[in-house]
Chain A
Amino acid sequence: MSGGVPSENRPQLRRGARLGWDHVRERHVLLAPEGVLLLNGTGAAIVGLCDGKQTITEIVERLRGTYTHVRIDEVEGFLTQLIARGWLEVGDE
């Protein structure tokens, strides 16, 4: 994966960000100082597992318990984007 985040990283929501449910749009949302991100169910499930304790590899494993088709490169790509845009941060590994 080019320019990606190593899969042993443990991402977590940045300070001040939180997940929510928008009953108006019926969508999961990620709320933070800089804006709002509308998420689909899978996206919300992934973000929900970003607790700063689990590595990306472990997050993918957990997702496989719930969803049948989980591709590690897709999850990594999604998390890399959220980290690059400042929604998630990765602690020192």
Chain B
Amino acid sequence: MSRPLGMLAELTYACPLHCPYCSNPLNLADSWEELGTADWQRVLGEARALGVLQLHLSGGEPLQRRDLVDIVIRAHELGLYTNLITSAIDLSPQRARQLKGAGLDHVQISLQADDPALADRIAGARAHGRKIAAARLVKELGWPLTLNVVLHRHNIDRIDLILDLAERLEADRVELANTQYYGWAWRNRDALLPTRAQLDRAEEVVRRTRQRLRGKMEIIYVIPDYYSHYPKPCMGGWGRQQLTVTPNGDVLPCPVAHLLGLPRANVREHSLAWIWEDSPIFRRFRGTTWMPEPCRSCPRREIDFGGCRCQAFLLTGDAGRTDPVCHLSPDHWRVTRVIEATNRQPGPIAPVDLVPRVGTGRRPPGRPVHPAEHESAGSRT
């Protein structure tokens, strides 16, 4: 069995933004208690002992955790490479300097678009201006800066302007990842999926800009799975390289695997090593023996590992089937049908008609359940 290389630590689901493509669960308003500082620090130690080298601090919005600096200090002591994946709107100069001092290696800031009004509309918050200020701060403090822009029907035609903005901000890397359809994005899929013509144009812009900025700014571009010929090797294979720890301590092979309804494994009850090696959830789709045809006899079975289990589940109701985005899948018609409907839509694209992600029923660690408090926490975020 291989050792994990990377861990995604979802420190909290609380977030000041309401992006309609958020991959967080749909039942965020349910109440649950977050892991405390000491829990996280212990989990980081267990992760390092298991082989994890890279730590992605995410959420929700990780800056909502008051103990973020203490978590980073522990990660740095352990020799982990630390990425902060953030909306950055709460990244004050003071907080940024503390994180720098704690040894944070890299900052990745999300932008919703280049245009402030559009960006704020997508985020459901006045956020864009503060993100730009935070991006400049990250560069001033000497961090490598990655900008992450989730693409969809409502911003993909501005990809050249988005890249111009990234260039002006002197980003070292830009991730232009089309929305994949899980969580809130699944719910908003038909309003988010771009047309083939939009994708063709975006790809051309990326190709040209990559050529122009070679050696200066790295551009990562990811198309929607629905338009792929073969599925992606999701997470590098189930339980093979990556793991996710959710705010309440559940451990998952990927950040959205909670929707599969597999037996839960939680760091409050088990060691991370046991969860990685022996828990039913991690063993369920590890390797190739679980595979049905056409994966089982496919020469690509150890290239893409059957694709994404969550996508198979959402599209077919069965997580054990071949990812339907694969053109060889017997369920591929389900994807084709969606793509055809998207590309039949005539004329200009309708105005944004999206369900925003809701606030959370988050309880900070160690606080007792109190219904009234739960309600106010939900409305705050």
Contact = CB atoms under 8 A, between A and B. Distances in A.
A69 to B, nearest CB: 30
B75 to A, nearest CB: 12
B105 interface: yes
Nearest to A90: B215
Contacts of A15: 144, 172
Contact of B6 (A18, A24, A32, A36): A36
Nearest to A33: B106
Q: Which label, helix, strand, loop or mixed, suits the secondary structure of the A interface? A: strand
Interface string B239-256: 000000000000000000
A36 B53 contact: yes
Contact of B144 (A16, A25, A35): A16
A31 B3 contact: no
Interface in B61-94: 79, 81, 83
B106 A24 contact: no
Given A16-B106, A31-B81, A33-B106, A22 B53 contact: yes
B48 A24 contact: yes
17 contacts: A14-B172, A16-B105, A16-B106, A16-B143, A18-B105, A20-B81, A22-B51, A22-B79, A24-B3, A24-B48, A24-B49, A24-B51, A31-B105, A33-B83, A34-B173, A36-B53, A90-B215
A46 B331 CA distance: 48
B155 interface: no
B5 interface: yes
A76 B79 CA distance: 29
Contact of A31 (B50, B53, B172): B53
A24 B172 contact: no
Q: Which label, helix, strand, loop or mixed, suits the secondary structure of the B interface? A: mixed
A86 interface: yes
Which of A15, A33, A86, A89 has the most chain B CB atoms closer than 10 A to its own CB? A33
Contacts of B218: 34, 86
Interface string B99-132: 0000001101000000000000000000000000
Interface in A36-89: 36, 86, 89
Given A24-B48, A29-B53, A16 B3 contact: no
10 nearest A-B residue pairs (beta carbon) = A16-B144, A31-B81, A33-B106, A15-B144, A36-B53, A24-B51, A36-B5, A16-B106, A36-B54, A86-B218
Contacts of A25: 3, 51
Given A32-B81, A34-B173, A24 B50 contact: yes
Given A22-B53, A33-B172, 10 more contacts: A20-B79, A24-B51, A25-B3, A31-B54, A32-B81, A33-B105, A36-B5, A36-B53, A36-B81, A89-B215
A9 B6 CA distance: 32
A36 B48 CA distance: 14
A6 to B, nearest CB: 14
B12 interface: no
